[in-house]
């Protein structure tokens, strides 16, 4: 089948590459000409395991193209995906300007029937807005063309996006017409070979399912962080509590790790947006709002621990602090809303100097904080520690799990680790003479 995808970011590029991989002919569009130029030169704008090979293979075999030419993209296919950003507006609600602008572009250029598939995460009711926007423009143009609007939210995880897309837990399709369901079933047929993964539902339920999934996951994290903070105050160990509750199959072990807060381009914005969606229909989503509040507080935990170790925030002025891990989670270079950024900015605010290392997010960190003084990006995890007063760990990259503690000690001014991901055994570190504080476990501070 042929399809076009508006938006060549994490979701659009992975969707395009993976749908080409199973044999469809895909045109990916973006308004960012520099991004399209890079892709046409064979460079990927994002770091995502396994993506480069799929992109280059499908480009070489003629199933995947990149362009800024909207008319060409619209003419290429009956199926038009919208995969553009839906960033938070000032009040936290999802900003739909990019989604609606794509709807307009499609409406202006279309000359035949289209199925418009929304893959962006959007508030309930957006499909209706997309439909109205397209109808309005078709009326202006004085043409009588038919189209369907489908909701097909995306559940891929950055860092595992290719695998998630090729072997999805489920494919959610919200469609109001039999014809749209038929087209979508055929499009995703290659993913249903081992068992049926596609779930058809009404459009509004599909739109809400995406927010429900992200809010549920964020709730699990905030809940565990709340209990971690309590454990510290009660002299309990959250890791023991985690294992104790995870053994109950109704709870399970997945996604109940305490830490220094969730980040990324999805959880923070989607939790906020869900709260605003509820406000709009006059419902106070108390739990959802608390999830966000707990997370905002948790992002300060590393700084607070550091400050209490050094005798107050002001005492951190002039100190040199190492930070391991800048991306919001391992296996991605994405630093949007990353807990590391809250820590970096708090450290700079009190006049501390930062030496940082991340296995892949260095270029992104340079781009974000290019003009920052008091910020040094080290070439490896050990040189990052040269002359520092303490190390903070923000991301649980594999490379940080079993470091050479002797090497670390020989480079650092003091043996202090504040670990936002509970990577090491507190007892072992204490035996080795480290001051070690983590989240929700007894500390040696
Ligand atoms: P992104 O910011 O990486 O990419 C969006 C792209 O859309 C950009 O390249 C931008 O230039 C382009 N764009 C904007 N307006 C356009 C237009 N009118 N025509 C063509 N291109 C245009 O965003 P993303 O992370 O891929 O997220 C896209 C959507 O998918 C969001 O709604 C997000 O919430 C959702 N989502 C993201 C993830 C994720 O892990 N990143 C997972 C599931 C769902």
Query: pLDDT tens-digit profile of 140-161?
Result: 999 999 999 999 999 999 999 9
Whether residue 59 contacts residue 21, with contact meaning beta carbons closer than 8 Å, is answered with no
CA of 101 to the centre of ligand 1 (A): 13
Closest CA to 361 of 408, 399, 318: 399
For residue 149, the tally of other CB atoms under 10 A from its CB is 26
For residue 427, the tally of other CB atoms under 10 A from its CB is 12
Nearest alpha carbon, ligand 1 atom 22? 7
Question: Is 266 in the active site?
Answer: yes
pLDDT given for residue 444 in this prediction: 64
> The dihedral of CA 194, 216, 341, 321: what is its sign?
negative
Model pTM? 0.95
CA of 335 to the centre of ligand 1 (A): 15
Question: Does residue 197 sit in helix, strand or coil?
Answer: coil
Alpha-helical runs (H) found in 22-151: 33-40, 51-60, 70-76, 97-109, 126-141
Q: Is 30 annotated as a binding residue?
A: yes
Question: Does residue 272 sit in helix, strand or coil?
Answer: helix
> Cα–Cα distance between 135 and 144 in angstroms, integer?
9
Q: Is 121 annotated as a binding residue?
A: yes
Whether residue 323 contacts residue 369, with contact meaning beta carbons closer than 8 Å, is answered with no
Whether residue 326 contacts residue 356, with contact meaning beta carbons closer than 8 Å, is answered with yes
Closest CA to 345 of 391, 297, 300: 300
At the topology level, CATH places domain 211-296 in 1.10.1040
Longest dimension (CA), the chain: 78
Q: Is 325 annotated as a binding residue?
A: no
Length of the chain, in residues: 445
φ, ψ (nearest 5 deg) of residue 416: -130, 125
What Cα–Cα distance (Å) separates residue 360 from each residue in 46, 327, 336, 365, 377?
10, 8, 14, 10, 12
Mutate to test the pocket of ligand 1, among 51, 85, 123 (most ligand atoms within 8 A of CB): 85
The alpha carbon of residue 154 and the mean position of all alpha carbons in its chain are separated, in whole angstroms, by: 12
Q: Which ranges of the chain have pLDDT less than 50? A: none
CA of 309 to the centre of ligand 1 (A): 41
Alpha-helical runs (H) found in 148-199: 161-166, 178-188
Q: Is 155 annotated as a binding residue?
A: yes
Q: Is 35 annotated as a binding residue?
A: yes
CA of 181 to the centre of ligand 1 (A): 24
What Cα–Cα distance (Å) separates residue 351 from each residue in 217, 251, 415?
35, 43, 21
CA of 266 to the centre of ligand 1 (A): 11
Nearest alpha carbon, ligand 1 atom 14? 84
**Paired tokens of 97:** 């300007």
Same fold for the pair 211-296 and 299-437: no
pLDDT given for residue 442 in this prediction: 83
> Cα–Cα distance between 250 and 248 in angstroms, integer?
5
Best CATH choice for the domain 299-437 from the list 3.40.50.360, 3.40.718.10, 3.30.200.20, 3.40.50.720 = 3.40.50.720
Mutate to test the pocket of ligand 1, among 4, 5, 6, 10 (most ligand atoms within 8 A of CB): 10
Label residue 284 exposed, middle or buried (CB < 10 Å: 0-12, 13-18, 19+): exposed
**Paired tokens of 289:** 């709002």
Domain covering 2-201 in this structure, CATH number: 3.40.50.720
Whether residue 119 contacts residue 19, with contact meaning beta carbons closer than 8 Å, is answered with no
> Cα–Cα distance between 390 and 349 in angstroms, integer?
17
Catalytic residue among 266, 384, 392, 394: 266
> Cα–Cα distance between 162 and 171 in angstroms, integer?
14
Nearest alpha carbon, ligand 1 atom 44? 154
The domains of the chain are located at: 2-201, 211-296, 299-437
Side-chain-facing half-sphere of 384: CA atoms under 13 Å:
26
Ligand 1 pocket: which residues have CB below 6 Å? 6-12, 29-32, 35, 83-86, 98, 101-102, 120-121, 154, 156, 158, 265-266
pLDDT given for residue 211 in this prediction: 98
What Cα–Cα distance (Å) separates residue 215 from each residue in 256, 264, 287, 374, 421?
14, 13, 10, 36, 21
């Amino acid at each position: 089948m042929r399809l076009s995808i508006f938006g060549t970011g994490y979701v659009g590029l992975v969707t395009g590459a993976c749908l080409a991989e199973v044999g469809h002919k895909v045109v990916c569009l973006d308004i960012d000409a520099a991004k399209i130029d890079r892709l046409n030169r064979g460079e990927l704008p994002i770091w995502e395991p396994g993506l480069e090979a799929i992109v280059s293979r499908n480009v070489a075999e003629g199933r995947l193209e990149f362009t800024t030419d909207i008319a060409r993209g619209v003419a290429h296919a009956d199926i038009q995906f919208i995969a553009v950003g839906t960033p938070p507006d000032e009040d936290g609600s999802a900003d739909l300007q990019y989604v609606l602008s794509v709807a307009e572009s499609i409406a202006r250029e279309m000359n035949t029937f289209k199925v418009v598939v929304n893959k962006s995460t959007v508030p309930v009711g957006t499909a209706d807005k997309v439909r109205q926007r397209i109808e309005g423009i078709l009326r202006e143009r004085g043409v009588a063309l038919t189209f369907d609007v489908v909701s097909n939210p995306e559940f891929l995880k950055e860092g595992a996006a290719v695998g998630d897309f090729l072997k999805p837990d489920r494919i959610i399709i919200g469609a109001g017409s039999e014809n749209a369901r038929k087209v979508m079933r055929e499009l995703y047929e290659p993913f249903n070979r081992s068992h049926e993964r596609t779930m058809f539902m009404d459009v509004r339920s599909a739109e809400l399912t995406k927010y429900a999934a992200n809010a549920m996951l964020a709730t699990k994290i905030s809940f565990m962080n709340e209990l971690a903070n309590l454990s510290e105050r009660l002299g309990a160990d959250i890791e023991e509590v985690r294992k104790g509750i995870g053994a109950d199959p109704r709870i399970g072990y997945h996604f109940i790790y305490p830490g220094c807060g969730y980040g990324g381009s999805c959880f923070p914005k989607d939790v906020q947006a869900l709260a605003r969606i509820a406000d709009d229909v006059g419902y106070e989503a108390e739990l959802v709002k608390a999830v966000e509040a707990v997370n905002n507080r948790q992002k300060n935990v590393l700084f607070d621990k550091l400050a209490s170790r050094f005798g107050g925030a002001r005492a951190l002025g002039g100190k040199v602090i190492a930070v391991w891990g800048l991306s919001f989670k391992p296996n991605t270079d994405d630093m949007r809303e990353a807990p590391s950024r809250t820590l970096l900015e708090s450290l700079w605010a009190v006049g501390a100097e930062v030496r940082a290392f991340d296995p892949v997010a260095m270029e992104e960190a340079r781009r974000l904080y290019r003009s920052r003084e008091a910020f040094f990006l080290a070439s490896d995890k050990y040189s990052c520690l040269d002359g520092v007063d303490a190390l903070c760990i923000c991301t649980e990259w594999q490379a940080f799990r079993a470091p050479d503690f002797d090497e670390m000690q020989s480079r650092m001014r003091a043996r202090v680790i504040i670990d936002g991901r509970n990577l090491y055994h507190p007892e072992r570190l204490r035996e080795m003479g480290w001051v070690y504080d983590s989240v929700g476990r007894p500390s040696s501070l």
